[in-house]
Structure 1
Amino acid sequence: MPEELDDCVHTHPIPADEAQRYSPVRDPDSEQDIARYVELEADDEKVLSAEKIRTDHVQGDQYDIWDVVTDKGRWWVITNITNLYSQTHFPSLDYTLSFHIGLMARLMSRNTRLEDFDPDPFNEVSRRWDQAVSRSELAVEVEDFQAIGMLLRECLLSLIEALRRMLPEAIPEDEPKAADFRAWTNIFFDHLCPGRSEKELRSYLKNTAEKTWSLVGWLTHARTANRLYSRIITQAVDTLLGHIMQLVYREKSSKIEVCPNCSSHDIRNHYDMSVPPDGAGYSTCGSCNWSDHPDAENRAALKRLG
């Protein structure tokens, strides 16, 4: 005998794109970011809904977990570093999170450079650093390790060239010589870390750059150069590159760190390719939904209507 239904029971599931509208806690800008990511990674699939399930913290790292429904299937999307997993093959969320954390740890252990940056400006820098690392694995004689010092020197000078292209506004009229690494890093750190509030950071970075440059020069001529020295100095160069890349990323992205509407520090950065002429970055507040998107007022009005 068929089960009797009352007026409070749905006889069919709510479509994913409709159900998403009734979520009590939404972040439309982050949903849009995740939807774009899935549509880029999953060929010929259109995202119907993207719902943030939860946020987990493991050893100080934050992982946002999303449940994404497309017209052809369903995916888990986990951030830091963002990756997607088919729910057909990964039905257990806890297992998927553990798998993701392990996979990202292995990837990071294989490559300590920052992968979140646009690779184009630093292509030559990365290539020269890779050459030094590859040479280090095969080095045996003193001359081999000295050659690693030369590669690292060229890596640092190519970094200066990349910064000159990316930060032309920082270049003074009286330019230092192209190979004056200390002078150029002082100029760029003054530009990237301005003001009294960043005095200590600026001092640390200048000292780090100077000491790293000195170590690289020493390795180039050291008659006692060996594998340990080359590894330590290669890692020192890698650390300096990471510092500078993070500062450039901050310079080129939104500088907003505190919401002007509610003073929250929960600022989230996004990118909208539909903003003319070539797309643009913008920020939102996770606390009050403030946004500095160029079309923020119209977008807010559409949300209210929706």
Structure 2
Amino acid sequence: MAQPLPASEEKSIRNYVELECGTADSSDPDNKVTLVQKVSSYRLVGTDYDVYDVHLPKERWWVITNPTNLYSQESFPEYDVAFSFHVGLMLRVMNRNRVEIEEEKAEEVGGAWRRYEAAVGAMDSAREAEDYQGVAIKCRETLLAFGREHQEAEWLTPPEVKCKVNDFKGWAKLYAQELSTGRMRRYLSEISDKAWDVAVSLQHDYNATE
């Protein structure tokens, strides 16, 4: 059943479809959206999705959010099928993006990023507890590499007491102090500590399955 839409939401979806269809600047009424209605909402793994039924004079589309994409109703007559396709497509895109990075940024993290890519690859193929322990080892190596690679960086103020080379938590805290302030500094320090603790814990978990 179609749900009432706030004017701003209706306008946003209308503009999106006309832009994607290349008709935003057209004066031809056949190229303009005639109807926008929300037909369903889903919540999967903590993410909310909305599905809209959008009509133009000569075609109809399903528009699905988070991230927003549109699907021809000629190809997908039922919106639940379009939604299933959308979720699968977005998962594949996000999975690919886990190991894609701009070349300039890749140079900044160097060996740590290559180790992260290896960890992602190992995670994708992991099945047994030993496999997940191997993932943890690669994650630990990634964190250690990240900690080592910036110890002589120009932006880092030399500490009075230098951390040991492989003291990831110590170096991560120094980096956070140098690059951030306030709540962000505290957040970066805490998440670095937790990342290290999880990697070390999983490395020794003989019953790990995910």
TM score, norm. by length of structure 2: 0.52
Q: Distance in 1 between matches of 2:12 and 2:40?
A: 20
Identity %: 24
In structure 2, the partner of 1:128 is 118
Q: Distance in 2 between matches of 1:153 and 1:62?
A: 33
Q: Distance in 1 between matches of 2:145 and 2:56?
A: 44
For the pair 1:212 / 2:173, whether they are aligned, the reply is: no
CA distance change for structure 1 residues 103 and 190 in 2, over 3 Å: closer, same or farther?
farther
What is the 5 A alignment of 1:128-207? 128-134=118-124, 136-137=126-127, 147-157=134-144, 171-174=155-158, 179-187=166-174, 194-195=181-182, 201=187, 204-207=190-193
CA distance change for structure 1 residues 64 and 188 in 2, over 3 Å: closer, same or farther?
farther
Alignment match of 2:68 (pick from 59, 64, 82): 82
Cα distance, 1:26 vs structure 2: 4.1
Q: What SS is found at the alignment partner of 1:174?
A: coil
Q: What SS is found at the alignment partner of 2:61?
A: strand
Alignment match of 2:38 (pick from 31, 39, 54): 54
Q: Distance in 2 between matches of 1:70 and 1:186?
A: 55
> Mind listing any 5+ residue stretches in structure 2 that lack a counterpart?
1-5, 25-31, 107-112
In structure 2, the partner of 1:102 is 84
Cα distance, 1:118 vs structure 2: 6.7
TM score, norm. by length of structure 1: 0.40
- Render the CA deviation track for 1:127-184: whole Å, top value 9, x for unaligned: 22223225633786xxx7764443222333466699x7xxx99x52227677542134
Q: Distance in 1 between matches of 2:198 and 2:50?
A: 36
Q: CA RMSD in A?
A: 5.1
CA distance change for structure 1 residues 109 and 172 in 2, over 3 Å: closer, same or farther?
same
The one-letter amino acid of 2:23's match is V
> Mind listing any 5+ residue stretches in structure 1 that lack a counterpart?
1-23, 39-44, 233-306
Q: Distance in 2 between matches of 1:197 and 1:101?
A: 36
- Render the CA deviation track for 1:14-52: whole Å, top value 9, x for unaligned: xxxxxxxxxx9246677655555x3xxxxxx52344675
Q: Distance in 2 between matches of 1:106 and 1:133?
A: 19
The one-letter amino acid of 2:74's match is T
Q: What SS is found at the alignment partner of 1:211?
A: helix
Contact 2:36 2:55 (C-alpha < 8 Å) held by counterparts: no
Q: Distance in 2 between matches of 1:26 and 1:124?
A: 44
Q: Distance in 2 between matches of 1:186 and 1:133?
A: 27
Greater CA deviation, 108-117 or 52-61? Answer: 108-117
Contact 1:190 1:202 (C-alpha < 8 Å) held by counterparts: no
